[in-house]
Amino acid sequence: MFHTPIVPRVRKRSKPAEADVPRRDEVKFEDVRLYLVERKMGRSRRSFLTQLARSKGFIVEDILSDEVTHVVSEDSQASSLWKWLKECAPKNLPNMLVLDISWFTDSMREGRPVAVETRHCIQDTLPTLPEDSPPTPVASVSPYACQRRTTTENNNKIFTDAFEVLAESYEFNEIEGPCLAFRRAASVLKSLPWAVQCLGATQDLPCLGEHTKAVIEEILQYGRSFEVEKILSDERYRTLKLFTSVFGVGPKTSEKWYRRGLRSFSDILADPSIHLNRMQQSGFLHYGDISRAVSKAEARALKNIIDEAVHVITPDAILALTGGFRREKEFGHDVDFIVTTPELGKEESLLPIIINRLKKQGILLYSDYQASTFDMSKLPCHRFEAMDHFAKCFLILRLEGSQVEGGLHRAEGDSRGWRAVRVDLVSPPMDRYAFALLGWTGSRQFERDLRRFAQVERRMLLDNHALYDKTKKEFLAATTEKDIFAHLGLEYIEPWQRNA
């Protein structure tokens, strides 16, 4: 039972000099909407605190609506507070921050919404609702990235950046389980339309284990993860991170160089026993350019170059920009394209002719062509392969500044009129185009979960080549990505919502 406390009578005092300033409650914090719980607080105190908050630019709602982001209470009995909140049953309750009055007083003192810490949160201590209580709607988050819409806007970057470092560290140590666990956890947090501000908010989220929650709690409490900081200062991690940033150098080569005592690029290049392949030589030669991000404007300029080369060869060619730029990212490490032609079989000769044309234009700095090994009779493949069997080429192209709208994305102090950019081209047959487009668009975690969903939930096998129904024992045809989603019984996710 909640009782309104007796508020002592306060002697009226004359207003200070600042009363001459006209009162105006200007809203400063649009994204924060408070609701002050009157129970235990009392009507008079709630009215006073509401006026105080509004005078400092906060929005304070009079009723507990789905617009509320922060619920503030003086009730020290968490169980009774949460029982009352659940009886009110706002749909957005799982996403609301339920906070102790200490957060409110800290915010009033600072004149802004302070970061929510664990000590501010009033945790839900009710294991289950009574049978006669109405069910509380829960904002369900799927464990599969292919059932979540993830844009480029990441509200939880402080956590996902930490998870990516931990995942990469496990990858360098060839420990697959925790590596995938942290990548899945990062993917879930990236999809959230709200920022995690207390550990209780992660209670119903999938793919978050004890380790990931411990990292979240540490960041919430201290603003950083000491485990991540230790990794970032570790010599082996930093060296492997540096070496794998070179085009053509993978984790195993990096580990081999590290074990030989090499710690820098100059160590590698000065060691006569190190024999670099062509790709690695080009990687070191153009490192300053290709280790730098490629802008969206530069990707568009490269598409114009490739488009012109392709359509000179065959007017009916189909060219699609894929990868991160198709997902509407502003920057990427390289630029990926799919190129094909409606006439089956004709696509096999496209890439060598394109490479030759780029070479004649004087803009081809490096090329590695891999002929098609695609064979439909060898499908379906029951194990996941990182790379498909279509014809492809890995290129480094010279991009002139005059070709880029707004100019090149330059490094500081770079006054050249051009830069080197990594470009990948893949050429599937037209009847495999939809599968290749879906696979090459990414993101990596989206594709991984899409294939896992197909296998676990639908008993199907999906890769860049085909979709196979194991129950019907047949391949399912698709001319568009939407056809593939429909076969899987999934709601279609737009490319810009696949940034998992």
Transcribe 12-75 into DSSP letters. Answer: -----GGGGSPP------TT-EEEE--TTT-HHHHHHHHHHHHHTT-EE-SS--TT--EEEE--
Question: Could you tell me if residue 6 is inside a domain?
Answer: no
193 and 299 share one domain: no
470 and 390 inside one domain = no
CATH value at residue 259: 1.10.150.20
Residue 270 shares a structural domain with residue 174: no
Catalytic residues: 334, 336, 424
Q: Is 331 domain-assigned?
A: yes
What's residue 19's pLDDT?
40
The CATH number that applies at residue 161 is 1.10.150.110
pLDDT digits (tens, 9 = 90+) for 159-214: 999 999 999 999 999 999 999 999 999 999 999 999 999 999 999 999 999 999 99
Model pLDDT for residues 424-473, shown as the tens digit of each residue: 999 999 999 999 999 999 999 999 999 999 999 999 999 999 999 999 99
Beta strands in 58-208 (DSSP E): 59-60, 70-73, 97-100
How many structural domains is the chain composed of?
Answer: 5
pTM (2 d.p.): 0.73
Q: Tell me if 129 is assigned to some domain.
A: no
Q: What is the pLDDT of residues 329-366, one digit of tens each?
A: 999 999 999 999 999 989 989 999 999 999 999 999 99
For residues 49 and 102, state if they share a domain.
yes
68 and 184 housed in the same domain: no
100 plus 222 within the same structural domain: no
Domain end point (choices 103, 120, 137):
120
Q: Does residue 148 register a pLDDT over 80?
A: yes
**485 in a structural domain:** yes
In single-letter form, the type of residue at position 395 comes to L
Q: Which of 53, 86, 120 is the last residue of a domain?
A: 120
Q: How many CB atoms lie within 10 A of CB 317?
A: 22
Indicate the average pLDDT of the chain: 89
Residue 134, pLDDT score: 40
pLDDT tens, position by position, 255-265: 999 999 999 99
> Of the residues 405, 430, 455, which one is the last residue of a structural domain?
430
Q: Tell me the CA distances in angstroms from 274 to 21, 235, 243, 391, one per residue in order.
A: 75, 21, 14, 30
- The predicted-structure confidence for 71-95, as pLDDT tens digits, reads as follows 999 876 777 888 888 888 778 888 8
Task: Indicate whether 5 belongs to any domain.
Answer: no
In a domain, 9, yes or no: no
**pLDDT tens, position by position, 273-308:** 999 999 999 999 999 999 999 999 999 999 999 999
Instruction: Report the CATH number that the domain containing residue 388 is assigned in CATH.
Output: 3.30.460.10
The answer as to whether 77 is a domain residue is: yes
Reported confidence tier of residue 136, pLDDT bands at 50, 70, 90 = very low
3-state DSSP assignment of residue 401: helix
Place of tokens 């105190």: 45
Pick the closest to residue 468 from 490, 446, 481, 487 (CA basis): 487
Do 397 and 303 belong together in one domain?
yes
**Domain for residue 140, yes or no?**
no
Determine what percent of the chain is predicted with pLDDT higher than 90: 70
Question: In this structure, are 298 and 426 located in the same domain?
Answer: yes
In single-letter form, the type of residue at position 487 comes to H
Domain encompassing residue 486: 444-497
The DSSP call for residue 470 is: T
Query: Rounded mean pLDDT of 121-140?
Result: 53
Q: What is the helix, strand, coil percentage profile of the chain, to 5?
A: 45, 15, 45
More confident residue, 411 or 327: 327
Same domain, 269 and 209: no
pLDDT confidence of residue 76:
66
CATH number of the domain bearing residue 108: 3.40.50.10190
Q: What are the CB-based long-range contacts (under 8 Å, 24+) for 470-478?
A: 475/379, 475/380, 477/431, 478/434, 478/435
